[in-house]
A and B are shown apart, each in its own frame.
Chain A
Amino acid sequence: MSDTAAVSHGHGTGTGLSNNKLLMWVFLGSECLLFGGLISTYLIYRGRFGDGPAPGDIFDIPFTSVSSFVLLMSSLTMVLALAALQRGDIRNNRVWLLTTALLGSLFIGGQVYEFTTFVREGLGYTTSPFSSAFFTLTGFHGVHVSLGIIMLMSLLISSLRGTLTKERSETVEIVGLYWHFVDVVWIFIFTVIYLVPSPTS
């Protein structure tokens, strides 16, 4: 269409969502099936630990509960980051973006610690179908959190360059969608892996 037409009709988009936001929603829909496949695989294999450690023997539920709490709190700070930017409060936006990224990193640090401990206790990636499924599922989630941290840091850099303004708060909202999604997925994973009573050897 011509420029003039583009200005004059201005009727918005079909869904009322911007293209970028809709793209993120659609992408997250796809991600549900990715994690769905991995969670199903874990559920099939949680009892198949062979001679290796059983899930019930090895999980440290209090520790993982704390790191899960840290991750869930990062959703709160993400909301605060968006709210700050929507008010035009650049400073608090930066503070909360950084806090969110730090809480995410803390969670990843906890995962690294957990993986290391498990390997030391004899649960390697190749030990049993259970171990492969466990590391793959939680590993995929960890990669998603890490990508989220990269996005948050990109936002922060953008903010420091002065390009992340109130008018572009939707960008923070879109990254927020991704971040909340990754948190919600963790609630499922945490429930399925840790909270549902696990088989012991």
Chain B
Amino acid sequence: MTDTMELEAPARPLGAYTRPKANTGWRDWVTTIDHKKIGILYGAAAMVFFVIGGIEALLIRLQLATPDGTVLGADTYNRVFTMHGVTMVFLVIMPLAAAFANYLLPLQVGARDVAFPRLNALSFWIFLAGALFLNMSWILGDAPDGGWFAYAPNTGVVFSPGKGMDFYAIGLQITGIASLVSAMNLIVTVLNMRAPGMTLFKMPVFTWMILVVQFLLLFAIPVITVALFLLMFDRNFGSNFFNPEMGADPLLWQHLFWIFGHPEVYILILPSFGIISEVIPTFSRKPLFGYPFMVFSGIAIGFMGWGVWAHHMFVSGIGPISVAAFSVSTMFIAVPTGVKILNWLATMWGGRVRFNTPMLFASGVVSMFTIGGLSGVTHSLAPADTQQTDTYYIVAHFHYVIFGGALLGIFAGFYFWWPKVFGHLLSDKLGKWNFWLMLVGFNMTFGPMHILGLQGMSRRIDSYSPGFGFEFWNMFATIGAFIIALGVLAFIVNVVMSARRARHEPPVGPDPWDARSLEWFTPNPTPVHNFDDDIQVEALDEFWHRKYGEDQNGQVVRVASAEEVCQDGSATDTHLPSPSYWPVVLAAGLPFVGLGLMYTLWLCVPGAVLILMAIYGWSFEPVDDPDGPHGHHNDHGSDEPADDGASGTTPAEEAPVV
């Protein structure tokens, strides 16, 4: 309830609470509330976890490469696949989407920052605290082993003694706070802070998809919060939510988890849909085909995503009527997704397509996601699903949508927006290595899993005996996994080499891709204050429309160079919110509380002290550094980031601009 605690912000700054001033070095990164730096932090942290989750994946594939694998014991294997799933879903794809959302969303709507910069920093640090808390379980010797969806009663204290599932329940609770705070912040940013003239239907599709995702998070996170609380109370306080011996319903967890879990699937994929909806028009040199259909199909997916959760539970005995209903709704949700795929294809159709690396990755998404989507439709047929449940067919399906859909899209975004963030391009040559290695490796790894699954190989088994016909494809998949690893290595090499090369090369210029949306009005890399001046938005793809016009014959002609259209980033009188210590302090308290709940309540004390100190500090922090050059904050328009309780409350008397 930090926003209300801010009520106490006194008119005079108290001496003890001066705000940090560092603009460079580690202090700057720890105290920054700049949405661009927070975006970079999200991206960097998520890539570290991507490597960790990737190593876990390679261990799984090594164990399964040959029959009777001995690389990991059964117990370790359970922990490794559980943490692989948890890491890739919650600590890689979600924060990578948050990285893009944080960096790009304010730029794409023409704002100076998000609505609540300090809350934004808080989201990142809480995410990091939760992520470290989860991975701390490896060091403390008890990593979660109940699978990423942690079915209770199996994860109750009877069947999962030890601390593993406590790390799961409390760790995800912490990262959930981060997602929720971030979702509220970004929703307010998009709804309230768009540039003049930017109506909702002049927003880029990326912004739209991120907005839909934030609403999904807003409503899905509290459901898993409830589930995780109930699990935690069962495990730590002896309640009976998941204890069938006392008459509890063994399906309660599954329902709660999947009511969160299915929207979560769209939380993972929609950011990627948004990214490639920016990339494909740019590299096809055509406007996005059917923009309103793209937006409405995204919204439709967001709504319908709430009505399909029980297709994860077809074999759990929910009854024929439920099965039939969820079968039909699951088939139905393929329609808006199909609309999107057709629109991307129609965008490329007839365009002068340039196959630079971002476009390669985007095409990869369209093709690979289509495969994953189609195998998804096969699950909607309950009789077939009964056969496929808990086999490698499922593993193949969700890797095609999450790796082939979400992750490839995120890589498209890396290559596309790298110059925006770092001021230089990534090498296209290494990028193509990166793409082809990942695409080939990916299909080698997960393609055969369809066959393995239909042959009856169960997921989550730690070894299999020879003679079932599993040997060849398992070895094949393991080789594929290492080719993926080479692809990731190519990316890392590319990042390092391109940064080195950029030192000797001229800057990339404002518009390397002949792009379309608002973020390209700023120079590359984006200056700290974003825009020199507000942009008056007249059209969707405003940036493109300022560069191109029509001649007398109705032909599209270039009317202005990018240099003429772009701002030069020279504004110096911009009011910038000051950095703050308190987000990181508050976040640091949470793991202590978590460990305290698990080991000894005494550990909660330092956690609570840190949290209370941070809330107190946050409330009493002066609105601005009084010595700073831009300390006059009375000139806020209400579209300014409401960093402080005092000035962010200007009610708008004018007509809404929605």
Interface positions of A (Cβ within 8 A of B) = 1-7, 9-24, 26-27, 29-31, 33-34, 36-38, 41, 44-45, 48, 50, 125-129, 131-133, 136, 147, 150-151, 154-155, 157-158, 161, 163-164, 168, 170-171, 174-175, 178
Option from B574, B635, B642, B657 in Cβ contact (under 8 Å) with A14: B657
Task: For B657, give the chain A residue with the smallest CB separation.
Answer: A14
- Does any Cβ of A come within 8 Å of B627's Cβ? no
- Does any Cβ of A come within 8 Å of B187's Cβ? yes
- A17-B652, A151-B1, A163-B11 as given contacts; A129 in contact with B247, CB under 8 Å: yes
Closest 9 CB pairs of A and B: A12-B652, A37-B226, A132-B239, A34-B222, A13-B192, A16-B656, A33-B222, A12-B654, A126-B238
CA distance A20 to B630 in the complex (A): 23
Q: Can you show 20 pairs from A to B with CB atoms below 8 A apart?
A: A2-B571, A5-B533, A11-B654, A14-B657, A15-B658, A16-B652, A17-B192, A17-B651, A21-B649, A23-B184, A26-B187, A26-B188, A30-B221, A33-B222, A36-B223, A37-B259, A41-B241, A125-B239, A132-B233, A170-B651
- A9-B637, A50-B247 as given contacts; A19 in contact with B223, CB under 8 Å: no
- Does any Cβ of A come within 8 Å of B249's Cβ? yes
Residues of A within 8 A of B642 (CB): 18-20
Interface size class of B (residues with CB under 8 A): 35 or more
CA distance A166 to B533 in the complex (A): 33
Residues of B within 8 A of A157 (CB): 8
**5 extra A-B contacts, CB within 8 A, seeds A23-B185, A126-B239:** A18-B638, A19-B638, A33-B219, A163-B7, A174-B3
Interface of A is mostly: helix
Cβ B247 vs Cβ A14 within 8 A: no
B residues 156-208 with Cβ under 8 Å of A? 180, 183-185, 187-188, 191-194, 196
CA distance A77 to B240 in the complex (A): 39
Option from A14, A20, A30, A128 in Cβ contact (under 8 Å) with B649: A20
- Does any Cβ of A come within 8 Å of B229's Cβ? yes
- A18-B642, A129-B246, A164-B7 as given contacts; A136 in contact with B573, CB under 8 Å: no
Option from A2, A151, A164, A174 in Cβ contact (under 8 Å) with B533: A2
Cβ A30 vs Cβ B636 within 8 A: no
Option from A15, A125, A147 in Cβ contact (under 8 Å) with B191: A15
CA distance A144 to B225 in the complex (A): 15
- Measured CB to CB, the closest approach of chain B to A45, in angstroms, equals 7
Cβ B116 vs Cβ A37 within 8 A: no
Cβ A6 vs Cβ B1 within 8 A: no
- Measured CB to CB, the closest approach of chain B to A150, in angstroms, equals 7
Most buried by B among A1, A33, A136: A1
Residues of A within 8 A of B252 (CB): 41, 44
Cβ A161 vs Cβ B8 within 8 A: yes
CA distance A199 to B279 in the complex (A): 59
Residues of B within 8 A of A34 (CB): 222-223, 225-226
Cβ A23 vs Cβ B4 within 8 A: no
CA distance A13 to B637 in the complex (A): 9
CA distance A158 to B5 in the complex (A): 10
Cβ A6 vs Cβ B575 within 8 A: yes
CA distance A112 to B299 in the complex (A): 44
CA distance A51 to B655 in the complex (A): 61
Option from B9, B112, B196, B649 in Cβ contact (under 8 Å) with A11: B196
- Measured CB to CB, the closest approach of chain B to A115, in angstroms, equals 14
CA distance A167 to B573 in the complex (A): 28
CA distance A33 to B656 in the complex (A): 28
